[in-house]
């Protein structure tokens, strides 16, 4: 089940909210767990057992680490929790990647074939793994209290608003909210508005641009205009798809009293790659900083080790997104530029504006980000290479007539509207999260109705981050 379907909006969600507000407060965590189990089992019932097992194992490891009488015992339980979660992720997400590369090497040496098993990646597994790891580590460190009971932690681990595609939550940020959280009509309506905005971002913009993206990334020998058009369209699609999901998740959380971390803050107005990662997928970038970059040594070991840590963090962040060399190169691209910015003397990433001005820094950063999105989107390195060849003018310059004819007016409109909205904070000098001019009071209803009408006319379109 996904948010952008009539089944969820008119069936699952009203039923869940009714049950949630009818039961006593003490029974709301079990209701969340039950609803989350139904939501996940709608896709695959067998993988629900895996999700619950990972959550339960992390709960036990954290509890034992918290009660450990010695540092050595505590470390053993933490190691078990971290390695156990990573092992599950590694098996489902990276087994075929490793065996596929081994097979290519083995065949190149003339040694036969390496057979890969058929493994289906459970949706949401990457997000669940990070959340379970952070819980075990935080409880062992004393940074977070252990969950009051197993119901609270299982409800947190399977929380359906964000289980599939984030934001990446940490129990320490929600622990107090599981004990006591406020419910009010004003907060509920705020949640409805955020959900409606996210649904509109997904249906009206991301899904409208998606056919253009798919078409452009399969072109043979794209021209310069076609290559940059592909990168531009995908930049809009990915942002509105993922930011739309995050807005919907935050809205659903508000409806039941939770306040989740904001996951986006106008990333396309950034003036450096470092600043981009302070604005894009904020929950992931802060997780990587706190549980990977800082434990690696952060910036404490001198300049060279700092650059190494930045590069390793982003490469591992790239691999987290998917088992493909494209994601490795994407991580190297971002980590490399962050290291360059640090080497030029900027911890905050404001280095480019000092040399080429704020407008030049914004344009330069946006080009770097769009170049990175090409390899992120491409199914393989060969496809990425074709798009890059086009972007650098190796296949001609102009937009070909047949490509122009295939692109529908609604696709062009959605792309340019998406860019206008994404860049609105810069144009309005409002360096804030995505906000449009004050909408009329019926704006939420209008957005919701428009999105639902378009949604009814289209087939289901899963969110892009489901595949990660």
What torsion do the CA atoms of 236, 238, 239, 242 make, to the nearest 10 degrees?
A: 150
Of 183, 321, 334, 355, which is the active-site residue? 321
CA distance 194 to 92: 33
For residues 21 and 44, the answer to whether their CB atoms sit within 8 Å is no
Q: Six-digit token pair at 402?
A: 């047949």
Active-site annotation holds for 321: yes
CA distance 160 to 143: 25
For residues 391 and 227, the answer to whether their CB atoms sit within 8 Å is yes
CA distance 210 to 220: 18
For residues 444 and 434, the answer to whether their CB atoms sit within 8 Å is no
Q: How many CB atoms lie within 10 A of CB 97?
A: 17
Query: What radius of gyration do the chain's Cα atoms show?
Result: 23
For residues 55 and 128, the answer to whether their CB atoms sit within 8 Å is yes
Question: How far lies 309's CA from each of 124, 295, 442, in Å?
Answer: 27, 9, 49
Q: What is the DSSP letter of 394?
A: B
Which residues are catalytic, by number?
321
């Amino acid at each position: 089940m996904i948010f952008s379907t009539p089944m969820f909006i008119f069936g699952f969600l009203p039923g869940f909210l009714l049950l949630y507000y009818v039961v006593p407060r003490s029974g709301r965590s079990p209701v969340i767990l039950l609803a989350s189990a139904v939501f996940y089992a709608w896709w695959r019932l067998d993988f629900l057992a895996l999700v619950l097992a990972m959550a339960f194992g992390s709960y036990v490891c954290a509890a034992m680490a918290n009660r450990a009488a010695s540092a050595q015992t505590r470390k053993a339980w933490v190691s078990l929790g971290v390695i156990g979660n990573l092992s599950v992720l590694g098996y489902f997400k990276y087994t075929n990647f490793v065996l596929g590369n081994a097979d290519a090497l083995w065949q190149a040496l003339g040694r036969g074939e390496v057979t890969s098993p058929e493994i289906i990646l459970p949706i949401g597994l990457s997000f669940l793994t990070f959340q379970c790891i952070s819980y075990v580590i935080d409880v062992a460190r004393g940074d977070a209290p252990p969950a009051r009971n197993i119901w609270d932690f299982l409800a947190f681990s399977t929380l359906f608003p964000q289980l599939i595609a984030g934001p990446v939550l940490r129990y320490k940020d929600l622990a107090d909210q599981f004990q006591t959280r406020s419910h009010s009509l004003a907060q509920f309506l705020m949640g409805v508005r955020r959900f409606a905005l996210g649904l509109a971002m997904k249906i009206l913009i991301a899904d409208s641009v998606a056919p253009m993206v798919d078409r452009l990334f399969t072109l043979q020998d794209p021209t310069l205009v076609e290559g940059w058009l592909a990168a531009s369209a995908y930049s809009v699609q990915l942002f509105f798809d993922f930011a739309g999901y995050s807005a919907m998740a935050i809205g659903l959380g508000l409806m039941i009293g939770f306040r989740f971390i904001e996951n986006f803050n106008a990333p396309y107005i950034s003036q450096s790659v470092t600043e981009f990662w302070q604005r894009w997928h904020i929950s992931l970038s802060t997780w990587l900083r706190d549980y990977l970059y800082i434990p690696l040594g952060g910036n404490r070991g001198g300049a060279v080790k700092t650059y190494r840590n930045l590069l390793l963090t982003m490469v591992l962040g790239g691999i987290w997104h998917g088992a493909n060399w494209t994601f490795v190169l994407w991580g190297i691209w971002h980590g490399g530029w962050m290291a360059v910015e640090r080497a030029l003397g900027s911890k905050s990433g404001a280095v480019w504006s000092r040399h080429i001005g704020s407008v030049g820094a914004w344009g330069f950063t946006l080009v770097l980000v769009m170049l990175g999105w090409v390899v992120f989107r491409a199914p393989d390195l060969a496809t990425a290479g074709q798009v890059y060849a086009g972007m650098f003018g190796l296949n001609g310059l102009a937009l070909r007539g047949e490509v122009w004819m295939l692109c529908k007016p609604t696709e062009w409109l959605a792309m340019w509207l998406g860019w206008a909205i994404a860049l609105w904070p810069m144009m309005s000098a409002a360096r804030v999260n995505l906000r449009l001019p004050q909408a009329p009071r019926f704006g939420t209803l209008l957005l919701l109705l428009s999105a639902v009408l378009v949604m009814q006319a289209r087939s289901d379109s899963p969110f892009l981050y489901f595949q990660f």
